[in-house]
Structure 1
Amino acid sequence: MITLARKLRVVDYFTLGWGTMVGVGWLVIMDDWLLRGGPLGGVLGFAIGGALLLPIGYVYGQLVTAMPDAAGEVAYTAKVFPRSISFATGWMMVLAYFIVCPWEAVAVGKIASYIFPSLDSMELYRIAGRPVYLPHVIIGLGLTGLLTWLNYRGIRLSAVFQNWTTFGTLGLFMVFVAVGVSKGSPRNFPPLFTHSGFVSVLLVIQIVPYYMTGFESVVKGAEESRPEFRSGGFFKAIWMAILVGILFYTIVIAAVGYVAPWRELTGERFMTAVAFERAVGARWIVSVILAAALLSLFKVFNGNLVAASRMVFAMGRRGLVDARVGQVHAQNQTPSVAVICMGLGTAACMFLGDAILVPISNVGSLASAAGWLAACAAYYQMAPTLRQRLVAALGALVGLLMILMKVVPFVPGHFIPYEWLALGIWVALGALAARRATS
């Protein structure tokens, strides 16, 4: 029987977890984050929201150590829940990973056009009043094709790419933050909150699941660890991804609020770059930020493509969806059919253009939280000690609260009709996929 290639080390799992988590939201929609909470609301929102994920990270570390299965949440829930729950959990996690891919395919065109404004030409059509340009589409399709090919060819190629782009992003991040902060002032911070303190923090916490989704992608690659790999490495990679993610987001939000009067810049395109350029008074800092953003985009796109394809592959192998996606390439030892399906799906969805960017984050938040809730609930049933069950219960409660924040109508930032529509379409597609697999 052909199995997935076993090539990954601890550092590879860290770059998969953190690299899948942090994309380009810190550049593309920083204004949305600050308008939600202000500098202090944003920092507290990501710090609190990230800390709430630590018990969930603990649960995932325990589960992947006991069951190193690419199916992740599907495998865990299958141990204690009916098949329907296992399928629903897996289908939601596929959404959480897959939906990031067209997001990044669209974002790369936006970043490229900031560098080369002439790319904002040859408008094809508009969606929700936002134009879709031909050069943007070509760039997005090119990147999608490249990453699909990379993952089709082998996990080692994908891991090397992930490592270089992850550490490149972190290196450039440290450079532009250090330079920018040296020119900033605390006088730029006010207003610290955009609403009341509680509402400001709450509005930011609501989007944390989407922007912190990725640490659990470590478990999707569990079957591809090197033969000498020690299971404790999974735990280390997951916790490092969460902690470095919290630090990254809180630092970049605080830095943008510190380097320039942020309230004046919320209407600017790529507010982060504009704020640092104003503080430093030189264009080169923008080039550094855009280079960091492009590297970050490449790694988060690649990481989510890895996670989504492994999830679909594992569901196909279990007969939850079409069994053909559960095939392993004889030579490359990759889930080749699943990789191609995710690549084609990304290419199709990116034609929705810029209109998908903000609504997609809310749908992704709910999908991630649903998967976390299910994994923690499964571990609660399996945990041998009271302490472990309490941690699992806390993780499940966090997941449930994050879901309720999106679906309860009177909570600020709840789902709007377009987001319900997107979720409904995905559920309907899941029902069709399950029915096809059964028949």
Structure 2
Amino acid sequence: MTNPPLRRVLTTVQLWGIAVGLVISGEYFGWNYGWQVAGTLGFGVATAIVTVFYVAFVFSYTELTTAIPDAGGPFAYAYRAFGPTGGFLAGYATLVDFLLAPPAIAAALGAYAHFLNPALSPLWVGVISYSVFVGINMLGVRDSANFSLIVTILAVVELLVFMGLVAPAFKFDNVVAHTEQFKWTSVFAALPFAIWLYLAIEGVAMVAEEVKDPRRTIPRAYLLSIGTLVLLAVGTMLLCAGAGDWRRLATIDYPLPETLAMVLGHNSVWTRLFASIGLFGLVASFHCNTLGYSRQIYVLARNGYLPAFLAQVNERFRTPHWALVVGGGIGLVALFSGSTDQIIVLSALGAIVMYGISLVSLLALRRREPTLERPFKTPFYPFLPLLALFLSLICLLAIVYFNPRLSALFLGLGGLSLLVFRLVGRRAVPVKLNMLD
């Protein structure tokens, strides 16, 4: 029996909701660990570098996503450019990126819930979250996208309300306080936490096979989403830094409610309310990253890189149910075994490797396949992709240098996986990439 295809149902607004939803939890937590290692000024410089990188990357990546609207995303681009090994490396890095983002978000969901009710276990709130959002993603991409759009809009509105509440207390002196020890080495050490502000926007590529009119929808959604995220990231970070002693926020998973507590008091109605509805931003990203990892697993299994059962699609809902369940299980292991900052670093490492491979794939395909249909072409080519590639290499070297053990783990698991694929991979399965009609 033929495996049913994925449905093309997503509009520009829904895709914007998925793109922003993938990332928006990065404004709610995680980035503040960068203050711990670099202070506000050092992390500000790191954020500026990463913001320039992501803007250049999104313009470059959009060309690939519209030319090859395949659910494999980076896997599909690298396979087209460099064959099976290139596809494997991109697929592995993408899986690390998307499989490890949800457990970090689950930990933050638990921390926010614990802030509201200290009797709740942060760990078990995370476990329950996995069950709920894997279940929601089983119901079909249209329902998942609509749910994502609703919670993403609520999360954006909530951040704007947060900014409005905190702005009257903003003092620039607070931003620059306790920054006497500024060092460039600290800037580089903080890069993975700056990446967390934008990490996973590339996940739009994983639903490319489910987008109506990908030629127009994908570029619009990407450009609208990166603009939204830059404004939210800069505004949130500056206002948190200027609200009081930023050192109180540098090591916790709920910096925004704590900022409101500094400004309005722990017993303020706004503080409690924000901690409650603040879950919307985490929910949006948890949900969208679950969608992203399931599609990557599905495509790798469909093309013989993972066991075949992971490519099965539910007849009724047209969703890859086994990919959702198995990916959720891997995320639960990470949730139980690692701290939030280490999970973020590993996820950022997977992302930055995948970014580099995708950018090299863009350059290679421009040279090897000049006649490939490209509904969107990278502006200022080759300057923008080369700038993004240069900055991605800086980020990669910095992450590896300051996190040697986690980098060794990433490299070791990748090497082992490649060896297993070489030995037992179903290479007889022909890889068929979804191209423009």
Aligned residue identity for 1:81? F
Quick one: which of 297, 322, 329 aligns to 1:344? 329
User: How far does residue 197 in structure 1 lie from its aligned partner after superposition?
Assistant: 5.6
Q: SS of 1:153's equivalent?
A: coil
Unmatched segments (≥5 aa) in structure 1: 120-134
Q: Which deviates the most, 96-105 or 270-279? A: 270-279
For 1:151, the aligned partner's letter is N
Q: Which aligned pairs between 1:418-437 and structure 2 lie closer than 5 A?
A: 418=406, 420-421=408-409, 424-425=412-413, 427-429=415-417, 431-432=419-420, 435-437=423-425
**Structure 1 partner of 2:135:** 149
Letter in 1 for 2:53: L
1:284, distance to aligned residue in structure 2 (A): 2.0
1:400 paired to 2:388: no
Distance 1:289 1:425, change over 3 A: farther
Q: Secondary structure at the match of 2:128?
A: helix
Shift of 1:344: 2.3
Distance 1:266 1:84, change over 3 A: closer
Structure 2 Cα separation of the partners of residues 379 and 422 of structure 1: 24
Aligned residues with identical type, % of pairs: 20
**2 CA distance for matches of 1:74 and 1:295?**
30
Q: How far apart in 2 are the matches of 1:27 and 1:18?
A: 13
Number of corresponding residues: 414
Q: Among residues 358, 372, 386, which one is paired with 2:341 in the alignment?
A: 358
For residues 382 and 43 of structure 1, what CA distance do their matches in structure 2 show? 35
- Quickly say closer, same or farther: Cα 1:431–1:108, change in 2 above 3 A: farther
In structure 2, what is the Cα distance between the partners aligned to 1:267 and 1:93? 27
Q: CA deviation at 1:390?
A: 3.6
Partner Cα separation in structure 2 for residue 416 and residue 55 of structure 1: 28
2:10 equivalent in structure 1: 8
Distance 1:264 1:77 in 2: 43
In the alignment, which residue of structure 2 is the partner of 1:369? Answer: 352
Residues 239-250 of structure 1 aligned to structure 2 (within 5 Å) = 239-250=223-234
Is 1:378–2:361 an aligned residue pair?
yes
Match of 1:255 among 239, 256, 267: 239
| Offset of residue 419 of structure 1 | 5.0
Q: Secondary structure at the match of 2:319?
A: coil
User: 1:186: how far off?
Assistant: 2.7
Counterpart of 2:109 in 1: which secondary structure? helix
Unaligned runs of 5+ in 2: 371-376, 428-437
After superposition, the Cα gap between the structure-2 partners of 1:235 and 1:345, relative to the gap in structure 1 and judged at 3 Å, is same
Q: Distance in 1 between matches of 2:426 and 2:314?
A: 24
Change (3 A) 1:230 1:402: same
Structure-1 residue corresponding to 2:284: 299
- Structure 1 position 3, deviation (Å): 0.7
After TM superposition, the structure 1 = structure 2 runs for residues 106-117 of structure 1, keeping only pairs within 5 Å, are 106-117=107-118
Q: CA deviation at 1:415?
A: 0.9
Q: Cα offset for 1:149?
A: 1.1
- State the 1:198 CA deviation: 3.5
Return the letter of the residue paired with 1:321. L
| Separation in structure 2 between the aligned mates of residue 268 and residue 378 of structure 1, nearest angstrom | 38
The equivalent residue for 2:149 is: 163
Question: How far did 1:49 drift?
Answer: 0.9
Q: Is the 8 A contact 2:314 2:320 kept in 1?
A: yes
Moved more, 270-279 or 230-239: 270-279
- Residue of structure 1 in register with 2:268 after alignment: 283
* Contact 1:50–1:242, Cα closer than 8 Å, also in 2: no
Q: How does 1:42-61 map to 2 (within 5 A)?
A: 42-61=43-62
CA shift for structure 1 position 80: 2.0
Aligned to 1:39: 40
Shift of 1:230: 4.9
Distance 1:387 1:245, change over 3 A: closer
3-state DSSP of counterpart to 1:79: helix
Specify the code of the residue in structure 2 equivalent to 1:421.
L
Supply the distance in 2 between the matched residues of 1:267 and 1:335 (Cα, whole angstroms).
Answer: 37
Which deviates the most, 154-163 or 395-404? 395-404
TM-score (norm. length: structure 2): 0.87
Asked if structure 2 preserves the Cα contact closer than 8 Å seen for 1:210 and 1:368, the reply is no
| Structure-1-length-normalised TM-score | 0.86
CA RMSD of aligned residues (A): 2.5
- One of 189, 196, 215 as aligned partner of 1:203: 189
Cα distance, 1:342 vs. partner? Answer: 1.3
Structure 1 residues 147 and 116: alpha-carbon distance in aligned structure 2, compared to 1, 3 A threshold: same
Q: Which position in structure 1 is the counterpart of 2:74? A: 73
Check the 8 A contact 1:30/1:271 in 2, yes or no: no
User: What SS is found at the alignment partner of 2:339?
Assistant: helix
**Partner Cα separation in structure 2 for residue 330 and residue 269 of structure 1:** 39
